[in-house]
C-alpha cells in the first residue's frame, strides 16, 4: 500500500504556496520606474507592454552573449564527434583536442591557448611517483592561488591588455582555468589510482577532457571517471544510441533549456530582482514580505540560470555518450542544506566528496575527524570560488549549519515533528547565508540584521513560514518515495 501524507504536510504546503504568491506580488509592486537606475535597464520586449527588463545579472547576460557569439561551435562539435565516432573512434581524444584548440584560438588568440596548454602540461608532467598525490595537490593550490591573484588584485585593469583580449574574454578565461583546475586534479588523481597501464590517461585524453567544448565555459565540471565513458561508445547506455534517436533527445533537452531561457527573460520584465538588491537603503526599510520574497526569487533565478547553464552541457554530453550527472535540484523544495550541496551542483559535490572528504575520513572515523574533513572541504570551496569576504561568510555559515543539521538529524527521527521544529531554526541561517553569495556581503548583513534584531514577532512570523517551507520539503520527499515504491513494485 502506498502511504498517504499527513494532513499537516498538505496544510503547510498550501500555506507556503500562498505566502510565496503574496511575496511575489509585493516584489512586483516594487519593480517599477521609481527604482534607482531604472532607466538604465534593457528596453525589454514590446510584447509585454513595454516594460523594461532587469539585465543587472552579469553572469546571465554574459552567457546569453557567449551563446550568440559562439553558438556555431556547438553545431560544429556535433559534426566533429559524429564523424570521428564513425570513421576514427579510437582517435576521439585526438579529434576533441584538435577541435578544442582550434576553437580556443578562433574565440580568443594564441596567448590564451598557451595559458590553457601550460596549465594542462604543468599538471600532466613532473609528478614524482613517490609523492604523486601530494604534488598534484600542490599544483592545484598553486593554480588556484595564481587565478585568485589575477582575479582579485590584478584583473581587468592590466591583464586584458597583456593578453590582447577584452573584459568579457578575460572573465571567460578566468572561468575556464578555474574549471580546469578541478578537471586536471581529477584526471591526475584518477590516473594515480588506476595505475600506469590504465587506458585513456594520455596527454591527449587530458586535453580532450579540458577542451571538450560543451563543458568548457559554464560546466558542469564532471570528474574524469564520468568523462571517460565517452570512449565506451554507448555500451551499457540506458538511453537509445541510434543517431536519429539521439538527435531527437538532444533537441528536446535543448528546447527545454530554451523554454527556461524564455521563463527567465519574461520574469526579468516583471520582477526586478537584481536591480532591487542594488538599493541597500531600500532593503533596510522595505516590507518584510517583499524582503524575504526577494531572497526567495534570488534563489529561484539562480536555479533557473544553472538549469540552463548545466542543462545545455548535460544535453550535449549525454548525446556524446558521457555519463553526465542530473541537472540541479529545484531549491524551492530543499529543506536540508546538505541536500543542497549534494543535489544542486552534483559534479562539484562529487569532486569534493571523492577527492577531499573521503580521503580525510571514513564512515567509521571519529566525530572530530569528520568535522575537520568537512572543514577542509569548505575551505577548498572558499579558496576555489575566490578569496572574497562574501565567499568566506557564505562558506563558514554553511559549514556550521550543516554540522548543526547533522546534530538535529542525529537527535530526532526523520518523520518526527521535532525535527521540523528544531531544524527550521537551522534552516533559516542556512538560507540567509546564500544572500551573501547571490548578492554581496552588504546585502547578506542586511538580511541577518533584519531577521534577528527587528523583534520577536517578526522572527516568529518568518519561523512559521519557514516551518511550512521545511514541511513542504518533507512532503515532496514523501511523494518521491511513494513514486519510487510504485515503480519498484511495477517492475
Which H/E stretch holds residue 432? helix 417-438
DSSP readout, 143-188? HHHHHHHHHHTSSTTTHHHHHT--HHHHHHHHHHHHHHHHHHHHHH
- In angstroms, the CA 469 to CA 476 distance is 11
pLDDT of residue 1: 46
Closest CA to 67 of 309, 306, 347, 351: 309
What the block records as the C-alpha cell of 272 is 526586478
- DSSP 3-state assignment of 42? strand
Domain residue spans of the chain: 51-261+306-323
7 φ, ψ to 5°? -60, -35
pLDDT of residue 238: 59
Reported pTM: 0.93
- In angstroms, the CA 437 to CA 388 distance is 10
Q: Which residue blocks in 31-131 are alpha helix, DSSP H?
A: 58-70, 72-87, 92-107, 110-124
Residues of the chain with pLDDT below 70 are 1-3, 154-157, 195-197, 234-240, 491
Report the Cα 438 to chain-centroid distance in Å: 12
Condensed to tens digits (0 to 9), the pLDDT of residues 357-411 reads 999 998 888 999 999 999 999 999 999 998 899 999 999 999 999 999 999 988 8
- In angstroms, the CA 32 to CA 17 distance is 24
The Cα-based distances of 427 to 163, 340, 421, 460 in angstroms read 45, 11, 10, 14
Q: Do 81 and 92 form a contact (C-beta atoms < 8 A)?
A: yes
Q: 284-292 — which CB contacts under 8 Å span 24+ positions?
A: 284/446, 284/450, 286/30, 287/26, 288/450, 288/454, 288/458, 288/461, 288/462, 289/22, 289/23, 289/26, 290/23, 290/26, 290/27, 290/29, 290/30, 291/447, 291/450, 292/23, 292/462, 292/465
- In angstroms, the CA 85 to CA 79 distance is 10
pLDDT of residue 379: 96
Amino acid at each position: 500500500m502506498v502511504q498517504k501524507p499527513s494532513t499537516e504536510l498538505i496544510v503547510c504546503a498550501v500555506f507556503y504556496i500562498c505566502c510565496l504568491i503574496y511575496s511575489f506580488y509585493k516584489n512586483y509592486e516594487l519593480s517599477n520606474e521609481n527604482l534607482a537606475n531604472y532607466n538604465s535597464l534593457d528596453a525589454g520586449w514590446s510584447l509585454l507592454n513595454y516594460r523594461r527588463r532587469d539585465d543587472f545579472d552579469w553572469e546571465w547576460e554574459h552567457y546569453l552573449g557567449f551563446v550568440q557569439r559562439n553558438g556555431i561551435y556547438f553545431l560544429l562539435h556535433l559534426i566533429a564527434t559524429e564523424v570521428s565516432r564513425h570513421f576514427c573512434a579510437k582517435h576521439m581524444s585526438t579529434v576533441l583536442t584538435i577541435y578544442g584548440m582550434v576553437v580556443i584560438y578562433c574565440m580568443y588568440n594564441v596567448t590564451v591557448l598557451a595559458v590553457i596548454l601550460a596549465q594542462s602540461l604543468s599538471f600532466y608532467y613532473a609528478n614524482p611517483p613517490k609523492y604523486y598525490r601530494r604534488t598534484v595537490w600542490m599544483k592545484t593550490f598553486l593554480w588556484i592561488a595564481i587565478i585568485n591573484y589575477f582575479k582579485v588584485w590584478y584583473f581587468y585593469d592590466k591583464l586584458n591588455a597583456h593578453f590582447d583580449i577584452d573584459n568579457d574574454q578575460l572573465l571567460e578565461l578566468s572561468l575556464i582555468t578555474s574549471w580546469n583546475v578541478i578537471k586536471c586534479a581529477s584526471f591526475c588523481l584518477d590516473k594515480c589510482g588506476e595505475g600506469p597501464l590504465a587506458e585513456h590517461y594520455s596527454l591527449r585524453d587530458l586535453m580532450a577532457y579540458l577542451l571538450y567544448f560543451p563543458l568548457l565555459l559554464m560546466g558542469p565540471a564532471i570528474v574524469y571517471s564520468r568523462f571517460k565513458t565517452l570512449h565506451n561508445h554507448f555500451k551499457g547506455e540506458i538511453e537509445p544510441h541510434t543517431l536519429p534517436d539521439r538527435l531527437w533527445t538532444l533537441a528536446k533537452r535543448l528546447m527545454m533549456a530554451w523554454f527556461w531561457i524564455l521563463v527567465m527573460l519574461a520574469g526579468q520584465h516583471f520582477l526586478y530582482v537584481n536591480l532591487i538588491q542594488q538599493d541597500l537603503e531600500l532593503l533596510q526599510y522595505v516590507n518584510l514580505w517583499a524582503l524575504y520574497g526577494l531572497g526567495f526569487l534570488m534563489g529561484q533565478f539562480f536555479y533557473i540560470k544553472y538549469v540552463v547553464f548545466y542543462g545545455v552541457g548535460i544535453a550535449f554530453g549525454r548525446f556524446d555518450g558521457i555519463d553526465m550527472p542530473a541537472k540541479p535540484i529545484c531549491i524551492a523544495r530543499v529543506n536540508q542544506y546538505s541536500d543542497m550541496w549534494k543535489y544542486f551542483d552534483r559534479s562539484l559535490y562529487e569532486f569534493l566528496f571523492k577527492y577531499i572528504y573521503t580521503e580525510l575520513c571514513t564512515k567509521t572515523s571519529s566525530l572530530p575527524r569528520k568535522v575537520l574533513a568537512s572543514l577542509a572541504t569548505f575551505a577548498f570551496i572558499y579558496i576555489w570560488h575566490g578569496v572574497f569576504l562574501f565567499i568566506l561568510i557564505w562558506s563558514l555559515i554553511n559549514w556550521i549549519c550543516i554540522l548543526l543539521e547533522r546534530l538535529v538529524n542525529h537527535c530526532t527521527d526523520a518523520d518526527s515533528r521535532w525535527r521540523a521544529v528544531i531544524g527550521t531554526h537551522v534552516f533559516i541561517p542556512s538560507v540567509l547565508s546564500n544572500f551573501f553569495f547571490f548578492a554581496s556581503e552588504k546585502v547578506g548583513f542586511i538580511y541577518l540584521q533584519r531577521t534577528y534584531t527587528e523583534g520577536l514577532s517578526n522572527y516568529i512570523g518568518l519561523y512559521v513560514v519557514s516551518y511550512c517551507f521545511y514541511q513542504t520539503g518533507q512532503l515532496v520527499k514523501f511523494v518521491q518515495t511513494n513514486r519510487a515504491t510504485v515503480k519498484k513494485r511495477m517492475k
